[in-house]
Amino acid sequence: MKYLFGPVNSRRLGLSQGIDLLTIKTCNYDCIYCEIGPTKIHTCERKEYTPTADIIAEIDELLAEKDADKPIDVFTITATGEPTLHTGLKAVIKHIKQNTGKPVVVLTNGAMFDRADVRQDLMEADIVIPSLDSARDDSFRRIDRPAACVNLPEIILGLGTFCREFSGQVWLEVLLVKNINDSKDDIKALQEAINVIKPDRTQLNTVARPPLEPFARPLNEEELNNIAGQLPGHVEIIARFAKKDRKNPRLPNPDEILTMLVRRPCTISDISEALNLETKATCQLMDKLIAKGEVITMSHQGKTYYQPPHSA
């Protein structure tokens, strides 16, 4: 499958079937913390970057599989880049809704929310998770490195308009990077923006996996808690600090793991969490994949990450 990946076990969404609308990294941002490498096409141009018909054909193929009744909780639309740049977004959401009845989630960087056509396309979804890493132009430019066409004040207003008109859930994700977008002024600007946007939830995250730029460093749990306490509305911390073990082990599937690692480097804990595997089983499986030369390891901030050799 070229556009479908997973399903992965997401803490926020349950068992999530991923759909990637783009194949070459195309984004209106080039975030310093990005896990999928530098932006190749830095643009705000909306077009059909990949054939919508091919994406829909893959969804149909999945639904026709014998085990299509596996308990997928949601379909999650994402991209190697920014999914709202793809003009087939609305058609893909509608197709899933009409043919599965399952909720559709869209992960977006939020940069296109100043456009009425993008907001309109997203109305078809059930949960929209836009990012807003900073409401201050200076830190916004340092963390997200937007294309010249991106306008931060218009995005904040557009997010507010969307939240008022959308009947589903909006979870605003804020990724905080140490000494980049976590100053007092940044938090004050975020407070004001959240009061304008009024999302159903605000979810705080920080750098976890190897970022594009090594200087993108995470906040610790205490720092995130402190900021969470200063923001209005329902605020959650979605960054993971504690290591958990799985209670319901199932047979490991190397293909699922390789599909996930092609998209981004992961720790043993990430893999166990995403695929609901026991840590021990995951370690044994990774050792086998390393021995076969299908996976290599790299170190970042004291953690070991696994990835296919060609993505290193």
Site membership for ligand SF4, residue 133 (CB under 6 A): no
The vertex-307 CA angle with 301 and 312, nearest 5°, equals 80
Looking at the Cβ atoms of 43 and 276, the one nearer to ligand SF4 is 43
Task: Tell which one of 16, 17, 39, 76 touches ligand SF4 (CB under 6 A).
Answer: 39
Kindly indicate which of the ranges 10-18, 34-42, 182-190, 241-249 contains the residues binding ligand SF4, using the contact rule CB under 6 A: 34-42
Does residue 29 bind ligand SF4 (CB under 6 A)?
yes
Measured CA to CA, the distance from residue 22 to residue 108 in angstroms comes to 13
> In angstroms, rounded to a whole number, what is the distance separating the alpha carbons of residues 84 and 9?
24
Is 190 within 8 Å of 231 (Cβ atoms)? yes
- Asked if 81 is part of the footprint of ligand SF4 (rule: CB under 6 A), the reply reads yes
Q: Could you say whether residue 34 binds ligand SF4 (CB under 6 A)?
A: yes
Distance CA 150, CA 155 (A): 8
Does residue 27 bind ligand SF4 (CB under 6 A)?
yes
Sign of CA dihedral 145, 105, 84, 186: negative
d(CA 253, CA 191): 44
By CB under 6 A, residue 139 contacts ligand SF4: no
* Amino acid of residue 37: G
Strand, helix or coil at 172?
A: strand
From the CB of 289, what's the least distance to ligand SF4, in Å?
26
**Closer CB to ligand SF4, 83 or 160, in the complex:** 83
Residue 50 sits in the site that holds ligand SF4 (CB under 6 A): no
- Give, as ranges, the residues between 246 and 305 that touch ligand SF4 (CB under 6 A): none
| 9-17, 27-35, 189-197, 200-208 -> range binding ligand SF4 (CB under 6 A) | 27-35
Strands 26-27 and 201-206: unpaired
List residues near ligand SF4 by CB under 6 A: 27, 29-31, 34, 36, 39, 81-82, 109
